[in-house]
């Protein structure tokens, strides 16, 4: 008995290739049973502080923003908060001078910051001072950008 080759048209081949290379088409073993909405969401926040103001920026961050993030870890919105400064000078390009990495519980938690104003009011009764210091913290920046990350392997 002779077997007949199956001929796939170019559109079918493109469809199969597109499916094979679509993110999530081949979930890793640890994530196979986990739906996308249940997965944690990791975001890196980059800051480039103006020259000579790094210590002031870090002090304001520690005093006014980090406690808000800690409260969100305790409340369950965030799983983890990490903060970094570069160890070496690098190649001379000061892309960032401070970075935080926030791991949100899931996509819903990432999009829901409705408790943040309440946390801020509770932690900082002197709202005028808080707002003034937060304004100053952002005045010290040359640039700020966020990067949503995904697990590569």
Q: Position of tokens 């890196």?
A: 44
Calculate ∠ Cα 39-43-89, nearest 5°: 140
Residue-wise pLDDT for 96-121, tens only, equals 999 999 999 999 999 999 999 999 99
Instruction: Provide, rounded to the nearest whole percent, the portion of the chain with pLDDT above 70.
Output: 73
Task: Give the pLDDT score at 67.
Answer: 99
Domain architecture of the chain: domains with CATH: 36-148 (3.30.70.100)
Task: Give the pLDDT score at 13.
Answer: 36
Distance, in Å, from the CA atom of 143 to the CA atom of 72, rounded to the nearest integer, reads 25
Question: Largest Cα–Cα distance in the chain?
Answer: 87
83 vs 10, more confident? 83
Residue-wise pLDDT for 10-54, tens only, equals 443 334 344 444 454 445 555 545 677 789 999 999 999 999 999
Q: What is the pTM of this model?
A: 0.73
Task: Give the pLDDT score at 131.
Answer: 98
Distance, in Å, from the CA atom of 16 to the CA atom of 8, rounded to the nearest integer, reads 10
């Amino acid at each position: 008995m002779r077997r007949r080759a199956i001929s796939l048209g170019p559109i079918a081949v493109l469809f199969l290739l597109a499916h094979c290379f679509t993110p999530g088409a081949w979930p890793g073993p640890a994530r196979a049973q986990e739906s996308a909405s249940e997965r944690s969401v990791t975001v890196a926040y980059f800051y480039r502080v103006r020259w000579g103001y790094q210590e002031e920026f870090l002090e304001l961050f520690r005093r006014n923003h980090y406690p808000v993030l800690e409260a969100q870890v305790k409340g369950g919105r965030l799983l983890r908060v990490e903060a970094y400064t570069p160890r070496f000078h690098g190649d001379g390009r000061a892309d960032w001078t401070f970075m935080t990495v926030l791991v949100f519980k899931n996509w819903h938690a990432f999009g829901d910051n409705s408790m943040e104003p309440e946390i801020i009011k509770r932690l900082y009764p002197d709202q005028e001072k808080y707002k003034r210091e937060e304004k100053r913290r952002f005045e010290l920046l040359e640039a700020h950008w966020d990067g949503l990350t995904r697990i590569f392997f």
